[in-house]
Each structure stands twice: as C-alpha cells, then as structure tokens.
Amino acid sequence: MKTKNIIQAYRQAPWRMQLQWIGIFLLILMSIAVIAGVYLSLSGKAAITGRRIQSLEYQVSALELQINDLASQLAYASSARVMSERAAALNMVQRDPAQAIYLEVPGYSPESFSLAPAPTVDNIPSPSILPEFTASLWDWLADTLSNLPGTAQGSQEAQP
C-alpha cells in the first residue's frame, strides 16, 4: 500500500522528477564551471610567471651587455697608448730610474709590510675503510668458518 502511495505521489507530481533532473544538470554544470575556473586561474598564473621570466631574462641579457661594454671601456682606458696620451696631457714625462732623485723626508717612517706566509700543503687524511667493507665474500667465509667453535684453527689453545 505504501509503495502504491509513493508511486501515485510521483505520478501526481511529475514536477518533482523534473526538479531532480534539473538539479543534477545544474550540479554537473557547476562542477564543469568550477573546474574551468580553476584551469583558467592556473593558466593565467602560468602565463604571468612565463612573462615575468622572459622579462627577467631580458634584464639579465641587458646587464650582461652593459657589463661587457664597461669592461671594454676599461680595457680601452687602461691601454698603453691612452695612458701615455693622458700622461702627456698632464705634462708628465718618463724618467730613467738612474736619473731619478729620491728625497728622504725626516720624521716620516714608511709603513711596515709583511710578506704572506709560504704556502703549506695540508695533509688531508684519507678516510679509513673498515676491513668489513674491504673483505671479499671468500675472505669473510673463510674467517667465519675458521672461528666456528670446535675447530682447531679458530682456537688459540693447543689441541691433543
């Protein structure tokens, strides 16, 4: 009787079945929308990160170019030809060390200097490896068999 009433209730209200189907459809649709939203969010973050990496790589290459440019400018400025031109512009002349006059200034004591100690060779001890790790299987088997109780080889006592 109860089953009849339930079946009759559904037959009398078909909108309930329609609501269930609509609910299932909306649940599936919402699930797809959430998955698509997560996918779009992750894709957007990956794209932003990729563009940032490209920007940083561009900055690195620009800085490397600037470093190379400054290194070439330094090499040019410290070349022998440019240094001699700068010395000539400042009215400096090259002197022979034999003709140079050295003045001794009273009360001036030059700073003392100390030479660096001679290089030493540090003896790095090699790691010692225990005999358990260097013995072969044959050596281990021979030692084990010789140390068995009741064998003449394993004991230090005299055997009759």
> Cα separation of 42 and 32, whole Å?
15
Q: What secondary structure, in 3-state letters, does 52-115 show?
A: HHHHHHHHHHHHHHHHHHHHHHHHHHCCHHHHHHHHHHCCCCCCCCCCCCCCCCCCCCCCCCCC
pLDDT for the residue numbered 125:
74
pLDDT for the residue numbered 154:
45
Q: If you write DSSP's letter for every residue of 1-21 in order, what string do you get?
A: -HHHHHHHHHHH-HHHHHHHH
pLDDT tens across 86-139, in order?
999 999 988 888 888 888 888 888 888 888 888 887 777 777 777 777 888 888
